[in-house]
Chain A
Amino acid sequence: MEVKRLCAALLLAGSLAGCATSGGNPADPLEKVNRVVFAFNDGADKIVFTPVAKGYRAILPGFFRTGVSNFFSNLEDVWVSVNDVLQGKFQQGLEDFTRVIFNSTFGIAGLFDFASDAGLPKHTEDFGQTLGHWGIESGPYVVLPFIGPSTFRDGFGLLFDYKADLVYWATDSVPIRNSLYATRAISNRANLLDATSVLEQAALDRYAFVRDAWLQRRRNLVYDGNPPREPDESDDEPTK
């Protein structure tokens, strides 16, 4: 279901590429369509997700929310280690897999993140980053319905992330699986509530701000925190 929606969104975005006029950013030729989807996501967020996340935060105690967040993060670490290996980062892959072993046992099914305290910090890896690691360009920026900012490459990567998601394999029962998805989404959204208030304050144009921040963030992740300087960046006054 979600995959179909994703494909449809990517196809839609792709087919509209020809007719959309480009705005300022060359990385965002689909700006017109993206802005519409962004506005839609924003509306859904305001009406549904933010209130639910706030309720979640108001009702449940901090240790419980951390536990939920840790639990899903631990499941995710399996795919993180696979992507480490796919990127040739064997040491990090071993460390991240050790995190899973450690947190699944001593951390009681991942509810506690003892590995971080033991000097094995969490990493963020996904298939989009793996593709980026091997030199695949991110392609045009695209805002996916409900999912949010992405690019052609990362959107394609999401299909693999979705299939490799342990929650997807955890159970045959669709209602249980969907409740797990929902819980994870609420937990993730609740973790971002503070960031949203900063974003509201920071941005003149939220769409452009989110886009430019997202693209920088992904680039940083692909290069594991040490991206080469863009020619643009080192020069205060680019001449062209």
Chain B
Amino acid sequence: MSAVQTALSEFASTVPDRIWLALFVLLVGLVLAYLVGVVNRRLLRRAGVPEVIEGTAFERTAREFDTSTVRILAQLSSYFIVAVAVIVALTVADVNYLEQFWSGVAAFLPRLFVAAVVLIVGVVVGDKAELLVAERLRGIKLPELGVLPTLVNYSVVYVAALIALGQVGVQTLALIVLLAAYAFAVVLFAALATKDLVASAAAGVFLLLRQPYGIGDEVRVAGERGVVQEVDLFVTHIETDGEEHVLPNHAVFREGIVLIRE
């Protein structure tokens, strides 16, 4: 019995302290990774993430592989901590060979982690945005609008991929130029298309706040005389005998209002 004990203590004393410390660091890292994974999963669940991303393509694919987006994210954070722990342990243990390689990996690892997370979040958000837009457009039965949700999805995924690639240090200048051109086109198109609507809404806010005329007043606006039937954010309804004029509010504002009193 005592022979075994002395052999053990001799073995323990031959192993350098550094190795023990490294093993300890590794152990702490593993425990920490597990805890962070569990806490992450709970936090994401508590934040209602599974309900929000329900039905997105990514979540469905994850389900097919018998996992879920939340679990993948939680596992990713665990793996990251394990990897860091391994590197720290190796450094503490002073493993000399391949030092160059490990320092490179240590610098690269957090960026890879962030890139992976950004990519997953981007894909999920893109899917969700596609679903939301498709739902909003479902009332309008216009087949041409079917491309819009897909476009929204790809735009979000494209930006996420761009960020991820930037994180891992790939040259993305050409892609950014492409994105800028695309964003410029979208902004220009939106501005041209909604110019009158925005102007009307701005005038409508004034009309609703100050109420220069109200429902029931007789007015002449933009050449049309009649009784005001309705004022909303974008248009004013003015009715004369059997005719209802729907005037955009920016026209009301530009041409002025004549209140008719008898």
- Please indicate whether A and B come from the same complex rather than being unrelated chains: no
